[in-house]
Amino acid sequence: MSERQTFSYLSQTFQAAGIEPKTKYGQNFLIDLNILDVITRGAQLRADDVILEIGTGMGSLTKKMAPHVAHVITVEIDRDLQVLAARELEANPNVTMLTFDVLRNKNHLRDEVMETVCAKLAQFPNSKFKLVSNLPYNVATPIISNLLSVSPRPERMVVTIQKELADRIVAPPSCKDYSALSIWMQALCDCEILRTLPPSVFWPRPRVDSAIIRVKPNEAKRSRIQDLNYFHTTLRALFFHRRKFLRSQVFTATQDNLTKPQVDEILLKLGHKENMRAEELTVEQIIDLIEATRIASQGHKPLES
């Protein structure tokens, strides 16, 4: 095992194995190992942590974390890579390697992932669950979003993702990056970008910049939302046609439950002008707006507009 998973080491290892990085799996390997230090410091690894890593790669991050935590569960879809990583990690008995697609579908993680996490958490009492990964770009959004809906939720997520996605997660109102994803993440978590990364720290080089982001689920924030499923569904509908005015956006998102007069009453009560757009509202204002539509829709059949 080389502690220096540099470009030359990785390329020679791949050549000897007769394989190449697979673009369909979003494989970009960190070759600047200083970045691994940034990731692990951001994760604040502790001896009782149970870590989920998605995208084992060659196991460089896995091997760095393993001596400092109770257990690492690492998932790799590529069987060729899994074979190479298994050799690299054979001296680490506290690593469980899983080989499959972590997603059952776009909206759900594969059951075996959380089953394995729960089994390890039970094995180590008082342990904390964390996601720490160099995430493949093509699955980053569903992984981060879906982990906010599982039980138990991770205490924190420290991941390398495409910078464009990181910018969307932390975006403030009234900018091009502010979206349903921004609000969903900020309504439930504290989110911050720890480091922006150029393409040169990866092999193969991606065509875009990357970022290390830390996401910490916040139970106090989460408690403001009375019905998480309703909030998520309505939020996505609000931003489906983001250039429409607010009145039209709200009515379109709630038309199965509310009439236009009911929507007008809600907007008037909350002090929102009809010609505003949802992207101008803060996260707190969006939460209040969606909750108002939920309350108004309870026990009421829609009237003729």
What angle do the packed helices 7-17 and 79-88 form, to 10 degrees? Answer: 120
Q: Are residues 135 and 62 in the same domain?
A: yes
How high is the pLDDT of residue 209? 98
> What average pLDDT does the structure give for the chain?
93
Rounded to a whole number, what is the largest CA-CA distance in the chain? 71
Q: Is the pLDDT of residue 305 over 70?
A: no
Q: Are residues 217 and 88 in the same domain?
A: yes
Q: Are residues 55 and 181 in the same domain?
A: yes
Q: Are residues 117 and 162 in the same domain?
A: yes
Backbone angles phi, psi at 145, to 5 degrees: -65, -45
| Residue 188 zone, left/alpha/beta (φ > 0; ψ -120 to 50; rest) | alpha
Q: Is the pLDDT of residue 2 over 50?
A: no
Q: Is the pLDDT of residue 4 over 70?
A: no
What would the pLDDT profile of 100-117 be if each residue is shown by its tens digit?
A: 999 999 889 999 999 999
Label residue 39 by pLDDT band (50, 70, 90): very high
Q: Are residues 159 and 256 in the same domain?
A: no
How high is the pLDDT of residue 303? 42
Q: Is residue 1 part of a domain?
A: no
Q: Is residue 94 part of a domain?
A: yes
Kindly state the average pLDDT of the residues 161-169: 97
Task: Give the integer Cα–Cα distance in Å for 215 and 170.
Answer: 10
Q: Are residues 54 and 187 in the same domain?
A: yes
Q: Is residue 160 part of a domain?
A: yes
Q: Which residues lie below 8 Å from residue 193, measured CB to CB, with a gap of 6+?
A: 166, 167, 170, 211, 212, 213
Q: Is residue 302 part of a domain?
A: no
Q: Is the pLDDT of residue 304 over 50?
A: no
3-state SS, residue 171: coil
Q: Assess contact for 227 and 257: CB atoms under 8 A.
A: no
Q: β-strands 71-75, 156-162: how paired?
A: unpaired
Q: Is residue 305 part of a domain?
A: no
Domain endpoint, select from 196, 222, 248: 222
Q: What is the CATH number of the domain that holds 253?
A: 1.10.8.100
Count of structural domains within the chain: 2
Q: Is residue 86 part of a domain?
A: yes
Domain endpoint, select from 222, 246, 262: 222
In which domain, by residue range, is 282 found?
Answer: 228-297
Q: Are residues 279 and 150 in the same domain?
A: no
Asked which of 221-230, 277-286, 294-303 is least confident by mean pLDDT, the reply is: 294-303
Q: Is the pLDDT of residue 1 over 50?
A: no
Q: Is the pLDDT of residue 141 over 70?
A: yes
Kindly state the average pLDDT of the residues 271-296: 96
Q: Is the pLDDT of residue 300 over 60?
A: no
The encoded tokens of residue 217 equal 């689920």
Q: Are residues 199 and 259 in the same domain?
A: no
Q: Is the pLDDT of residue 138 over 60?
A: yes
Q: Are residues 112 and 244 in the same domain?
A: no
Q: Assess contact for 221 and 187: CB atoms under 8 A.
A: yes
Task: Give the integer Cα–Cα distance in Å for 242 and 238.
Answer: 7
Q: Are residues 171 and 233 in the same domain?
A: no
Domain endpoint, select from 222, 238, 257: 222
Q: What is the pTM of this model?
A: 0.91
The encoded tokens of residue 163 equal 């910078």
Q: What is the DSSP letter of 70?
A: S
Q: Are residues 267 and 159 in the same domain?
A: no
Share above pLDDT 70 across residues of the chain, in percent, rounded to a whole number: 96
Q: What is the CATH number of the domain that holds 42?
A: 3.40.50.150
How high is the pLDDT of residue 299? 57
Q: Is residue 218 part of a domain?
A: yes
Cα dist from 281 to 202, 278, 292, whole Å: 37, 6, 15
Q: Assess contact for 246 and 275: CB atoms under 8 A.
A: yes
Q: Are residues 30 and 109 in the same domain?
A: yes
Q: Assess contact for 187 and 287: CB atoms under 8 A.
A: yes
